[in-house]
Chain A
Amino acid sequence: MAEISKEQVKHVANLARLEFDDEAVEQMANELSAIIEYAEQLNELDTDNVKPTTHVLDLKNVMRKDEPKKWITQEDALKNAPDQKDGQIRVPSILE
Chain B
Amino acid sequence: MSLFDYTIKELEAKLHNQEITVEDLVKESYQQIKEVDGDVHAFLTLDEEKALEKARELDKRENKSGVLFGIPAGIKDNIVTKGLRTTCASQFLDNFTDPLYNATVVDKLDAENPVAVGKLNMDEFAMGSSNENSGYEPTRNPWNTDHVPGGSSGGSAAAVAAGEVLFSLGSDTGGSIRQPAAFCGVVGMKPTYGRVSRFGLVAFASSLDQIGPLTRTVEDNARVLEVIAGHDKMDSTSADVEVPAYTEALTGDVKGLKIAVPKEYLAEGVSEEVKNAVLEALKVYESLGATWEEVSLPHSKYALSTYYLLSSSEASANLARFDGVRYGVRSDNAENMLDMFVKSRSEGFGDEVKRRIMLGTFALSSGYYDAYYKKAQKVRTLIKNDFDKILEEYDVIVGPTTPTPAFKVGEKTSDPLTMYVNDILTIPVNLAGVPGISIPCGFSEDGLPIGLQVIGNYFDESTVYRAAHAFEQATEHHTKRPQLGGAK
Q: Which residues does A use to contact B, with CB under 8 Å?
A: 4, 8-9, 12-13, 15-20, 28, 31-32, 34-36, 38-39, 41-43, 45, 47, 50-57, 59, 62, 64, 72, 76-77, 79-83, 89, 91-94, 96
Segment at the A interface, from B126-134, B285-293, B330-338: B330-338
Give the interface centre of A8, A35, A50 by most chain B CB atoms within 10 Å: A35
Whether the pair B207, A54 counts as a contact (CB closer than 8 A) is yes
Q: Closest CB-CB distance, A46 to chain B, in whole Å?
A: 10
Whether the pair A12, B358 counts as a contact (CB closer than 8 A) is yes
Chain A contacts of B416 at CB under 8 A?
A: 31, 34-35
Whether the pair B365, A92 counts as a contact (CB closer than 8 A) is no
Other-chain residue from A15, A39, A56 in contact with B365 (beta carbon distance below 8 A) = A15
Whether the pair A42, B375 counts as a contact (CB closer than 8 A) is yes
How many angstroms between the C-alpha atoms of A32 and B363 in the bound complex? Answer: 11
| 17 A-B contact pairs sorted by A residue (CB < 8 Å) | A8-B362, A16-B316, A16-B358, A35-B359, A41-B302, A43-B375, A52-B380, A53-B381, A53-B384, A56-B193, A64-B233, A80-B97, A80-B98, A80-B326, A82-B327, A83-B330, A91-B337
How many angstroms between the C-alpha atoms of A35 and B100 in the bound complex? Answer: 38
Extra contacts, 16 of them, besides A18-B342, A28-B354, A93-B336 (Cβ < 8 A), are A12-B362, A16-B361, A38-B417, A56-B194, A56-B431, A57-B433, A59-B236, A59-B239, A64-B233, A77-B326, A79-B98, A80-B96, A80-B97, A80-B328, A82-B324, A91-B340
Chain A contacts of B173 at CB under 8 A?
A: none
> Given A54-B377, A55-B237, A92-B336 in contact, is the A13-B433 Cβ separation under 8 Å?
no
Interface of B is mostly: helix
Whether the pair B358, A32 counts as a contact (CB closer than 8 A) is yes
Chain A contacts of B481 at CB under 8 A?
A: none
Whether the pair B336, A52 counts as a contact (CB closer than 8 A) is no
Chain A contacts of B407 at CB under 8 A?
A: none
Other-chain residue from B325, B337, B376, B384 in contact with A42 (beta carbon distance below 8 A) = B376
Whether the pair B377, A52 counts as a contact (CB closer than 8 A) is yes
Whether the pair B372, A45 counts as a contact (CB closer than 8 A) is no
Which residues B164-207 have CB closer than 8 A to chain A?
193-194, 207
How many angstroms between the C-alpha atoms of A65 and B458 in the bound complex? Answer: 30
Whether the pair B345, A17 counts as a contact (CB closer than 8 A) is yes
Segment at the A interface, from B9-17, B258-266, B305-313: B305-313
B382 near A: Cβ within 8 Å?
yes
Other-chain residue from B299, B327, B355 in contact with A81 (beta carbon distance below 8 A) = B327
Whether the pair A18, B358 counts as a contact (CB closer than 8 A) is yes
Chain A contacts of B207 at CB under 8 A?
A: 54-56
Chain A contacts of B98 at CB under 8 A?
A: 79-80
Whether the pair A41, B362 counts as a contact (CB closer than 8 A) is no
Chain B contacts of A34 at CB under 8 A?
A: 415-417
How many interface residues does B have (CB within 8 Å)? 70
Whether the pair A35, B308 counts as a contact (CB closer than 8 A) is yes
Q: Closest CB-CB distance, A2 to chain B, in whole Å?
A: 11
Q: Which residues does B use to contact A, with CB under 8 Å?
A: 95-100, 193-194, 207, 233, 236-237, 239, 299, 301-302, 304-306, 308-309, 316, 320, 323-330, 334-343, 345-346, 349, 354-355, 357-359, 361-362, 365, 372, 374-382, 384, 415-417, 431-433, 458
How many angstroms between the C-alpha atoms of A45 and B372 in the bound complex? Answer: 13
Whether the pair B354, A18 counts as a contact (CB closer than 8 A) is yes
Whether the pair B358, A13 counts as a contact (CB closer than 8 A) is yes
How many angstroms between the C-alpha atoms of A80 and B327 in the bound complex? Answer: 5
How many angstroms between the C-alpha atoms of A16 and B360 in the bound complex? Answer: 9
Count of CB-CB pairs between chains A and B under 8 Å: 160
Whether the pair A56, B379 counts as a contact (CB closer than 8 A) is no
Q: Closest CB-CB distance, B160 to chain A, in whole Å?
A: 28
How many angstroms between the C-alpha atoms of A4 and B354 in the bound complex? Answer: 16
Whether the pair B381, A52 counts as a contact (CB closer than 8 A) is yes
Chain A contacts of B334 at CB under 8 A?
A: 92
Q: Closest CB-CB distance, B374 to chain A, in whole Å?
A: 6
Whether the pair A42, B381 counts as a contact (CB closer than 8 A) is no
Chain A contacts of B355 at CB under 8 A?
A: 28, 31-32
How many angstroms between the C-alpha atoms of A75 and B458 in the bound complex? Answer: 43
Chain B contacts of A17 at CB under 8 A?
A: 320, 323, 338, 341-342, 345
Whether the pair A56, B358 counts as a contact (CB closer than 8 A) is no
Whether the pair B358, A47 counts as a contact (CB closer than 8 A) is no
Chain A contacts of B342 at CB under 8 A?
A: 17-19
Chain A contacts of B323 at CB under 8 A?
A: 17
Chain B contacts of A45 at CB under 8 A?
A: 299, 302, 379, 382
Q: Closest CB-CB distance, B284 to chain A, in whole Å?
A: 31
Whether the pair B302, A42 counts as a contact (CB closer than 8 A) is yes
Chain B contacts of A18 at CB under 8 A?
A: 342, 345-346, 349, 354, 357-358
Whether the pair A94, B337 counts as a contact (CB closer than 8 A) is yes
Smallest Cβ-Cβ distance to A72: which chain B residue: B100
Counting from the closest, the 3 A-B pairs by CB-CB distance are: A56-B433, A52-B377, A80-B327
Q: Closest CB-CB distance, B158 to chain A, in whole Å?
A: 28
Q: Closest CB-CB distance, A20 to chain B, in whole Å?
A: 8
Give the interface centre of A8, A19, A43, A56 by most chain B CB atoms within 10 Å: A56
Whether the pair A50, B381 counts as a contact (CB closer than 8 A) is yes
Other-chain residue from A38, A82, A89 in contact with B305 (beta carbon distance below 8 A) = A38
